[in-house]
Amino acid sequence: MKISFLALAATAIAYASAAPVEKRAASNNVVVGYWVPWGGVPVASLDMTKYTHINYGFGVTAKRNAQPTDIFFDRYYDGNNMRALVARGNQHGVPILMSIGGWTGSQTLSTVAASADLRKTFINNAMVFVRNNTLPDYATTPDGWNMHGLDIDWEYPGRSGAACNTVSPQDSANYLILLKELRAQLDLEFPNDRKLLTAAVRVQPFDGADGKPLGDVSAFAQYFDWIAIMAYDIMGGWSANTGPNAPFRNGPAGLADQYSFVQSIDAWTSAKFPANKLVMGTAFYGRSVITTVDMNAQNPVSMYVNKTSVVPKGGPSDSNEINFFCNEGSVYSGLWKWKELRGTVLTTPTTPAAGWTRYWDETTQTPWLFRAADKTFISYDDIQSLTIKVNYAKSKGVKGVMFWDMTYDYNNELVNVLQNIHCTSNCPTVPVPSTTTAVVTTTTAPVTTKPPISTPPTSICNGVAPWNSATAYATTGTKVTYNGRLYTNSWWTQGETPGASAYGAWKDGGAC
């Protein structure tokens, strides 16, 4: 049955506005934003009432640094911004944390964590960010940056992240030791002024020596004030087919990677990490791919179809420049910031511009967009989907919400939704379109049925064994099949799902 389109005669769509929520209401929940200096949003323009904490990204560990324990940042480019952000934070009562690591900045953390001597040096280097500066700001090497804590963004202990990373099966065990020693040093130097220690983590608990997520991570909780789950980048250009970037619930098995906002809370709490130390990550962006079919012509419509292997340029700021710290090739990310979507693709939060069609997937509770002219698919989050996530997070008793990043928003539309985490009574519900103003062009009813993806076999997969999560693939160049595609490993790997990351061990060799 064809999905019918709804057209309402009026002028523009508007969301029902809710009463503003106080930043620090009776609850002790947090709204954590990441701010980066390359985002084009000056520190002076930030509305500090929207955040309880801000992480500065990033202090980088990289193999190109002189020592594996070095934490690189530019004392001018970063330093001026760090001082400005700390000053603004102090003025508004918003603690500023230094985030160490990131996708291309986690390269030597495995090496550091494995050595007692390297851990000691690394911890001393990290402490500089939270120590009080006794030298002039213009000093060549300030002895402190006056921050309020450290955020460890190791991507990922025991699992391949960026191609330049060092990885060891003992990473998680060593990470626990590093955290214990780092927490002890923070408490030793600041016994009366507690410095925060947080982390960004993936949608599953840390991997054990067997390459599988640990069943009990309660020992880590004693050292963290909270961890923030990066419940996004679930599907994108690296995936076998189209699907949601940041689903609320899992999509259908066999079509969607089985990770989501709900799944990640369940995974960490099942592994005995306390809910009240979980902060749920949200994405203020979407990701685009190019499909092989006209998604508007499907019957029934599905957000899961075949795609090409080429990731298109996303929004205006998307770049294919080679990363300074880790050369993973000249490739686009397909990323669309929310403010870019609102500037060119969406004329209101739910009204697509000419040529685009907006859909809502009922299973994953996410919107998606399609443009038939060039077969561009974009999965993203908006006011409606974020409201669902925040309301659910509150119901599960988590510590708060986090988002990437503060330079992506449009007129505070999305960060305003996150304020609901503080609400204790008469809280906003999912916004609904106004019936008195606006035209909804090509907005569809919820999608509930998803047909299977058919990929006819070809000779390239003949005789190749299926991927097995329990197998250690130690020989580079080993071929496996997974979800109808051929993959080849670039380094040792075990338990890493082929196609789960564009920068993982498995390289996509095409459809079978």
Q: Read out DSSP for 320-359?
A: -PPPSS----S----EEEHHHIIIIIBSSSS-BPTTEEEE
Beta-carbon-side half-sphere exposure of residue 413 (alpha carbons within 13 Å) = 26
Q: What local confidence, expressed as pLDDT, does residue 116 receive?
A: 98
328-348 mean pLDDT: 95
**Regarding the domain delimited by 472-511, which CATH topology (the fold level of the hierarchy) does it fall under?**
Seminal Fluid Protein  PDC-109 (Domain B) (2.10.10)
**Per residue in 348-387, is it b (16+ CB within 10 Å) or e — as a string?**
bbbbbeeebbbbbbebbbbbbbbbeeebbbbbbbbbbbbb
Q: What local confidence, expressed as pLDDT, does residue 469 receive?
A: 76
Closest CA to 6 of 360, 305, 348, 346: 360
The token duo for 27 is 């609850």
* Predicted confidence band of residue 479 (pLDDT cuts 50, 70, 90): confident
Whether residue 201 is predicted with pLDDT greater than 90 in this model: the reply is yes
* Predicted confidence band of residue 510 (pLDDT cuts 50, 70, 90): confident
* CA–CA dist 91, 350 (Å, integer): 36
Global confidence as pTM: 0.81
Tell me the domain boundaries of the chain. 30-283+381-422, 472-511
95-116 mean pLDDT: 97
* CA–CA dist 209, 30 (Å, integer): 33
How far from the centroid of its chain's Cα atoms is residue 432's Cα?
Answer: 27
CB-based contact 450:423 (threshold 8 Å): no
36-47 mean pLDDT: 96
Taking CA atoms, 209 is separated from 214, 255, 420, in Å, by 9, 29, 39
Closest CA to 86 of 58, 54, 57, 109: 54
Q: What is the mean pLDDT of the chain?
A: 87
Whether residue 217 is predicted with pLDDT greater than 70 in this model: the reply is yes
Q: What local confidence, expressed as pLDDT, does residue 115 receive?
A: 98
* Predicted confidence band of residue 458 (pLDDT cuts 50, 70, 90): very low
Q: What local confidence, expressed as pLDDT, does residue 484 receive?
A: 75
Amino acid at 108: T
* CA–CA dist 457, 27 (Å, integer): 55
How buried is 464 (Cβ within 10 angstroms: 0-12 exposed, 13-18 middle, 19+ buried)? middle
The total number of residues shown for the chain amounts to: 512
Neighbour tally for 426: CB within 10 Å: 8
Q: Where are the alpha helices (DSSP H) in 135-254?
A: 171-189, 218-221
Across-strand partners of 213?
207
User: What are the backbone angles phi and psi of residue 259, rounded to the nearest 5°?
Assistant: -135, 150
Contacts of 468 (CB under 8 A, 6+ apart): 480
Amino acid at 387: T
- What is the three-class DSSP state of 189? helix
* Predicted confidence band of residue 27 (pLDDT cuts 50, 70, 90): low
**Helix axes 261-270 and 383-395, enclosed angle (nearest 10):** 20
**Regarding the domain delimited by 30-283+381-422, which CATH topology (the fold level of the hierarchy) does it fall under?**
TIM Barrel (3.20.20)
Closest CA to 352 of 332, 331, 377, 370: 370
* CA–CA dist 383, 387 (Å, integer): 6
